[in-house]
Chain A
Amino acid sequence: GAVVSQHPSWVICKSGTSVKIECRSLDFQATTMFWYRQFPKQSLMLMATSNEGSKATYEQGVEKDKFLINHASLTLSTLTVTSAHPEDSSFYICSARAGGEAETQYFGPGTRLLVL
């Protein structure tokens, strides 16, 4: 099946620094990529949807200047957490879709971010 990778798998950073997370579709071209956030014992919450070559669409309550999303190619999307603070500590998951039905998303393994 289709494979999506994320890098890094975990990261620890100091408060105030920026962190970039990469999401790659390894064996297919992803027209749409999604970024989710998951807090402990809570569900995945969609943060934003990005289409290759266009600006991301952010969900209500998600700060676009805080969470910068770039989908510059059909195989790569990046999420940059700018000026990270401890409350940004979470598990970030991306998914990619080649087209077709909305539920046909292939998920990455997630990136755990800890901001000290």
Chain B
Amino acid sequence: GNSVTQMEGPVTLSEEAFLTINCTYTATGYPSLFWYVQYPGEGLQLLLKATKADDKGSNKGFEATYRKETTSFHLEKGSVQVSDSAVYFCALISIQGAQKLVFGQGTRLTINP
């Protein structure tokens, strides 16, 4: 079945540091890939997405590239801010069968000033 594996957290960085959160997936066919973010006390929000190989999703300074050869969708940001502190979820939807979101376990990110 489809699955998503994320880098285990928690991750703690200093402000302006470079961020990478790893995400790899297993799926049949060519899924669409997503990163969701959950800020404290709020619901998950779609951060960025990519729907085909080599696509790069980007938003709010975050980027992730759909790598079919390594089945990965790592999240990166060049210079993090305290306001980026949140839980980040990698997810996929397979275009085959029922279109359900499959999530990774989430990575808690804390940015210290």
Contact = CB atoms under 8 A, between A and B. Distances in A.
Nearest to A109: B43
A103 B43 contact: no
A4 B44 CA distance: 10
Contacts, number: 48
Contacts of A49: 100
A103 B101 contact: yes
A102 B96 CA distance: 12
Contacts of B4: 43
A1 B36 CA distance: 15
B105 A46 contact: no
B113 interface: no
Given A43-B105, A102-B93, A107 B99 contact: no
B101 A43 contact: no
A107 B105 CA distance: 16
28 contacts: A4-B43, A41-B8, A43-B89, A43-B103, A43-B104, A44-B101, A44-B106, A46-B100, A46-B101, A49-B100, A93-B43, A93-B44, A102-B101, A103-B32, A103-B46, A103-B93, A103-B101, A105-B101, A106-B43, A107-B36, A107-B38, A107-B43, A107-B44, A107-B45, A108-B43, A109-B42, A109-B43, A110-B43
